[in-house]
Chains A and B, each alone.
Chain A
Amino acid sequence: MTELISSGLVRGMGIGSTYALLAVGFVIIYRATGVINFAQPALMILGAYATSVFATGVGMPFPVAVLAAMAVLAAVGMATERVALRPMVGRQPFAAAMVTVGVLTVLFVVAHRLIGTQVRTVGDPWGLERASLFGVSVAQVDLAKIVVSLVAIGAVGLFLARSRLGLAMRATSMDQEVALAQGVNVGRMFSLAWGISAALAALAGMLVGTSAGGFEAITALVALKALPVIIVGGLDSIKGAVYAGLLIGIAEALTRTYQPRYAEWLGANVDVVVPYVIMIVVLAFRPYGLFGTREVERV
């Protein structure tokens, strides 16, 4: 029972909330521009790198380092949008998504070059310490992941729901032309969406970087697991991203804990493919995910 809670549920929710954070980044860009941002993994790992530099290299206090990394990545995200994605406005979503694949390869090489071959740490304050939760010993870092992610997602949700700028962003995602007619600067909304999304990716990168082994450039591929998450949750639903993120995170942690014992024949590292299997099963029954809006075709 203790194992089920500490290495199953809590750890799963820790991983899952990180996925949710990345997934919300995808969803925000998708809602604003109709594009899936395949460059998210590279932004995430650059965020982890920036945190690592600010916290361990420059020696800033950890929270300041995280905020600085988020700011830097937001700038990178906005610059990417301005240079590579803005010219694609009005073109097919497929073509724009492929542009982000190109951006991914470029930024990934940059990340490789910056990080090099050695493993880095983000200098997080939690380390391997454990806390007691209702009498069960759980890793502090898992709790931190859950709290940080949910607070960040909550803040973004509040921003979208309550602020003037958030209203403008929602208007843009509903209908760009109408938003433009109402005086919304649609281009700035695109830029803002990319900025928020990249900042969330940086935060997620920090959380991924807290894992015991540190992180290296190839860790970026973890962010691709947010893709099954957004598909399961529905491409345009923030609520879906959170639920699906937690679902997939817990499923992954449970697989990692119990599969070697009960289904050994599936081989090593099955937890890596679990998100994709869940995605395929969900897609077989709900082509637009659990919370996604069904596309309405006008004939």
Chain B
Amino acid sequence: MTAGTVTRGRSTGTVIRGRSTGAVRGRPLLRTSYAAEQAIWNTPAKRAWTLALVVAVLALPFFLSRDLTSLMTTVFIMAIAGIGLNLVTGYAGQVSLGHAFFMGLGAYTAAVFGGAGDDELVGLGLDMAVWLPMAGVVPALVGLVVAPLAARVRGLYLAILTLGLVFIGEHVFKEARSITGGVGVGRAPAEPVLFGLDLRARYHVFGYILSREAVFYFVCFAIFVVMAMAARNLVRSKPGRAFAAVRDRDVAAALMGVSLRRTKTLAFTISSFYAGVAGALLVVVIGRVTPTSWDLFLSIDLLAVILIGGIATISGSILGAAFVVLTPRLVSELADVVPFISTSPSSGFLSVFQLQTMLFGALIVLFLVLEPRGLYGLWVRVRNYWKAWPFSY
């Protein structure tokens, strides 16, 4: 009798332990609770590979040249923006062509709070610990203002409404010379000084010299990890399920008691926050930008990030960002080898810039037609193939 109780107690213990680790030992795919099912790393393989990836990413700047390090930093930044766009477009199903505007807004907010001011430009010269959050908060507030209007219109009407935002924003950026520097001039980005630590200097760490690119790489990586995790957690919590419900069928969602207005507003606000932070960081990497950089084509690039990467997946957004940022570089490297690509815009069959733009367009079409889940979908196919190998038919 006593022994029986003990045994039963022990078996319950296994289940509880199983819940805490996400799986029963030896049977990684047997999940005994909703929490285990929804865990971010729900298999040991995912845990191991994520860890390996983080180690690799942290080691990367020690092996890469400085310009490649900057390029990788851009990947993280575009991934932040892509995750933001994916939250509103992929998860909540509200098509936004207006993300370039929010990125620009974030960049200029950062420049006002963190940039150097003079008699022509407004600049408060504050710490990055102030300007980075502000670069997210101000676009989020603007998103909050736009959202009630955006929540009223649906589908393609919304896509065009947000497109209008880009054009109006571009005009405002061009005219607000004391903030943006105006057309053709632009202004320098906010100064990356975090808690008094100047991120533009070189640092000696464990006998290594860290270039300023590498320092900023680590900072951006940290911000990226925090924001990606936050987004991942958001989409598997109550608001995230509300997003998906609104996307899949708004009438059904409303019938179940999901407030459409509140859900759409939340999606817009959060995604504008992400876009703003990404915009602020992006200019620090690029340097001086003019108001015309925040145009429709940046919005299309962001759409390419989520469409090529994978709609409604966080890891897809990261893959997509890597693809969109790294492909142009690859193309320009290929330009020396492949004869019909020229490096100058007028000679040859196609210039590098033209080829990469065309490639994006073609890839957006190809992915949407052939693999709507994007690169993430390709990865899922590969994974499923090897999961059942050698019986994968």
Contact = CB atoms under 8 A, between A and B. Distances in A.
Interface of A: 30, 36, 84, 87-88, 91, 93-99, 101-110, 112-113, 116-117, 221, 224, 227-228, 230-231, 235, 266-270, 272-273, 276-277, 279-280, 283-284, 287-289, 295, 297, 299
A284 B161 CA distance: 10
A235 B157 contact: yes
Interface string B146-176: 0001001111110111011101100100110
Given A109-B358, A230-B160, 20 more contacts: A36-B160, A88-B369, A91-B372, A98-B303, A99-B369, A101-B364, A103-B365, A106-B365, A112-B354, A113-B350, A267-B175, A273-B167, A273-B168, A276-B164, A276-B168, A277-B164, A280-B168, A287-B152, A287-B154, A299-B252
Nearest to A225: B167
A84 B365 contact: yes
Interface string B342-359: 000110001000100110
A115 to B, nearest CB: 12
Interface string B321-349: 00000000000000000000000011000
A279 B363 CA distance: 32
Contacts of B255: 299
Given A266-B175, A272-B171, A273-B168, A99 B354 contact: no
Give the 8 A-B CB pairs with smallest separation, nearest first. A105-B361, A102-B364, A267-B175, A276-B164, A106-B361, A102-B365, A109-B358, A102-B361
B368 A95 contact: yes
A283 B153 contact: yes
Contacts of B300: 101, 105
A284 B328 CA distance: 40
B56 to A, nearest CB: 32
B225 interface: no
A283 B93 CA distance: 19
Given A103-B361, A116-B346, A84 B369 contact: yes
Contacts of B345: 117
Interface of B: 93, 95, 149, 152-157, 159-161, 163-165, 167-168, 171, 174-175, 251-252, 255, 296, 300, 303, 307, 345-346, 350, 354, 357-358, 360-365, 368-369, 372
Given A98-B303, A267-B175, A113 B354 contact: yes
A187 to B, nearest CB: 16
B152 A102 contact: no
Given A88-B368, A101-B303, A295 B154 contact: yes
Contacts of A228: 160, 164
6 contacts: A93-B156, A94-B159, A106-B358, A269-B174, A276-B163, A280-B149
Contact of A117 (B346, B354, B360, B361): B346
Contacts of A30: 156
Contact of A283 (B95, B161, B362, B368): B161
Nearest to A227: B160
Nearest to B365: A102
B156 A94 contact: yes
A109 B352 CA distance: 11
Contact of A102 (B160, B165, B296, B368): B368
A117 B171 CA distance: 24
Given A94-B156, A101-B300, A109-B354, A279 B171 contact: no
A256 to B, nearest CB: 14
